[in-house]
Amino acid sequence: MPWVEANGVRLYVERAGEGPPLLYISGSGGDLRQRPNGFDQPFAARFDMVGYDQRGLGQSDRPALDGSSAWTMADYGDDAAAVLDWVGWDRAGVLGVSFGGMVAQELLVRHPDRVSHAVLACTSSGGAGGASYPLHELPAMAPAQRGATQVAILDTRWADPAFEDPLRDLVARGLTLAAPDAGSAAQLEARRHHDTWDRLASVRCPVLVCAGRYDGIAPLGNAEALAARIPGAQLEVFEGGHAFMFQDGSAWGRMEQFLLRPTG
């Protein structure tokens, strides 16, 4: 059965493909029942890829929380290490997207021997390197304001009504404006306190930081700071916003190329 016992929480896991081992860590609100997901991307078949629903989301457990048991980013990082244990991988490549990139940073600094190389996409370090947009503030907005804000921060060009992009209309129609459930709210609260800045200098594996030029959630300046902070990290900037992987046709290929390269 695709379940992992991780730090007192049961996580739902999926695995597919053949090739080098790759752990895919999804963003805020990720749910493997939603399509498309990481397994549907054009590069996925080139890897033995594992993805999972993070605690409180999708088909993973939703344990009760009280004021004394809030989840931390360290918990999410340790969950990722527990998934690697379940698969039986001593080391693997890691692709973390948005919130998943924050989790990947925790994995890199808390379990450095478990990651062979990592791609950190549309994400931020927090602290002195800059925080991503405070998504925890969205639920307090009126629905119309919340929807307009979500569209505008996904791609800063979308705030201009004259800018034509079919993806903007598709995203706007698919937005979920309901208040987050307990699992999503707990994830957003942990995200609010994300800060790896002072620990990133300890990272020693190869890292590729990927950013969208027009990302209003994880701005380009944050990616530049993140790449500068991690020793030897590379930075790639793509033509798009927070969803640059679907806007710039070169993005998946560049990430695949990096993740397939041999490491020592």
Question: Is 84 domain-assigned?
Answer: yes
Q: What is the pLDDT of residue 35?
A: 84
Instruction: Judge whether residue 198 has pLDDT over 80.
Output: yes
Indicate the number of domains in the chain: 1
Q: What is the pLDDT of residue 176?
A: 65
Distance, CA of 209 to CA of 96 (rounded, Å): 10
- The pLDDT mean for the chain works out to 92
Give the tens place of pLDDT for each residue, 142-186.
988 988 899 999 999 999 989 988 888 888 776 766 667 888 889
- CB contact set of 172 (below 8 Å; sequence gap of 6+): 147, 151
Asked if the peptide bond before residue 36 counts as cis, ω within 30 degrees of 0, the response is yes
Contact 130, 228 (CB under 8 A): no
Q: Which amino acid is at 76?
A: Y
Question: Is 153 domain-assigned?
Answer: no
Distance, CA of 248 to CA of 264 (rounded, Å): 30
Angle at alpha carbon of residue 76, lines to 209 and 183, rounded to 5°: 115
Tell me the CATH number at 17.
Answer: 3.40.50.1820
Question: Is 159 domain-assigned?
Answer: no
Distance, CA of 101 to CA of 30 (rounded, Å): 13
More confident residue, 80 or 262: 80
Residue range 9-34: mean pLDDT, rounded: 94
Q: Read off the pLDDT band of 204 (50, 70, 90).
A: very high
Residue range 6-35: mean pLDDT, rounded: 92
Question: Is 216 domain-assigned?
Answer: yes
In the chain the first and final C-alpha atoms are separated, in Å, by: 33
pTM for the model stands at 0.94
Question: Is 203 domain-assigned?
Answer: yes
Contact 70, 93 (CB under 8 A): no
Question: Is 189 domain-assigned?
Answer: no
- Domain limits at 78? 3-133+194-260
210: closest CA among 244, 235, 178, 173? 235
Give the tens place of pLDDT for each residue, 220-248.
999 999 999 999 999 999 999 999 999 99
